[in-house]
Amino acid sequence: MTITDQQPLGSPFSATSTAEDVMAAFDLSGATAVVTGGYSGLGLETTRGLAAAGARVIVPARRPGLARAALKDVDGCDVIPMDLADLDSVRAAVAQINDSLSKLDLLMAVAGVMATPERRVGPGWEGQLAINHFGHFTLACELYPLLAAADGARVVVNSSAGHTLTDIRWHDPHFCTGYDKWLAYGQAKTANALFAVQLDALGHNDGVRAFALHPGKIITGLQREMTLHEQIERGWVDEHGTVIGADFKTPSQGAATGLWAATSPLLDSRGGLYLEDCDVACTSAPAAPMDDGGVRAYAIDSGAAARLWDLSVAATGATPITR
């Protein structure tokens, strides 16, 4: 993948397309999918879209009881316990998935946290990097044999326009010298994008292709760590918590790009790309406003992606993937 590959493909869908629009033509009978965060917000819409098309969907959940309640009306869906902040829990979930599947066609990394208070995870890792990146990284690495067995699997990772806030802080990725919740979020979202680049580079010979994406601006449970005052200051909601931003998407519209990434024939033989509004995004200038769209060059840099991969393997002890 090169920077020149980051060009729109002329998708028939757009920013206003819904999950239902994207999935209308697909029959996924016989396909298997894992959707993290698949019981709320964008994840719930993703699970519904895949299941309605006939896929068997496994939803790993930190709160399995809540997940089962949210998914009680969704056919072909199984919930298993998993906490992305606990790598032993991730590996236990992988063991359960291995026991029930012979192949995995889709891994949708939708779960995440945003702008949280400072939290330390595992051996002192910064919490947003640990949950958004290390947890998904470990899950994908340990599930890789099932992905390779599918002969055409796709891995779809939810990044964000928040990646424009910062490159990887190689000098201090865990904010040991002072915490900033928004820079921590931005770094985690850059990590999500770089993860897709390197996973695609390592996996494409096995038919495993990976994509990262910005789902758009959507009010979901992702904002739960933010006060109402913070959301009002950013122009997202009014004093009653009602969404007022004209550029906000519905959850179904927010899930559409991920489902397009999972299914679109336009992406056959492609990978390592950053997507938005149901198409490939353009690269953005270093000083371009976040809301103008596009992906920063540092978030799709192959050298940085390989460096982050090595850092992540060393940190997590995940099973390496070799070409």
**C-alpha triplet 28, 138, 40: angle, nearest 5°:** 55
Half-sphere exposure of 112 (CA within 13 A, CB side): 29
Q: Which residues are catalytic?
A: 185
What is d(CA 132, CA 114) in angstroms, rounded to the nearest whole number?
Answer: 9
Residue whose tokens read 């009680």: 72
Query: Residue by residue, what is the 3-state secondary structure of 47-102?
Result: HHHHHHCCCEEEEEECCHHHHHHHCCCCCCEEEEECCCCCHHHHHHHHHHHHHHCC
- Phi and psi angles of residue 284, each rounded to the nearest 5 degrees, phi first: -115, 150
Closest CA to 107 of 56, 148, 157: 157
User: What CA–CA distance (Å, rounded) separates 11 from 88?
Assistant: 40
In the chain, what are the helix, strand and coil shares in percent, each to the nearest 5? 45, 15, 40
Work out the number of other CB atoms within 10 angstroms of the CB of residue 25.
Answer: 9
Roughly how many angstroms between the first and final C-alpha of the chain, as a whole number? 16
- Two tokens, residue 134: 């290390």
Structure tokens at 45: 């819409």
Strand, helix or coil at 12?
coil
Nearest Cα neighbor of 211 from 149, 264, 148, 145 is 264
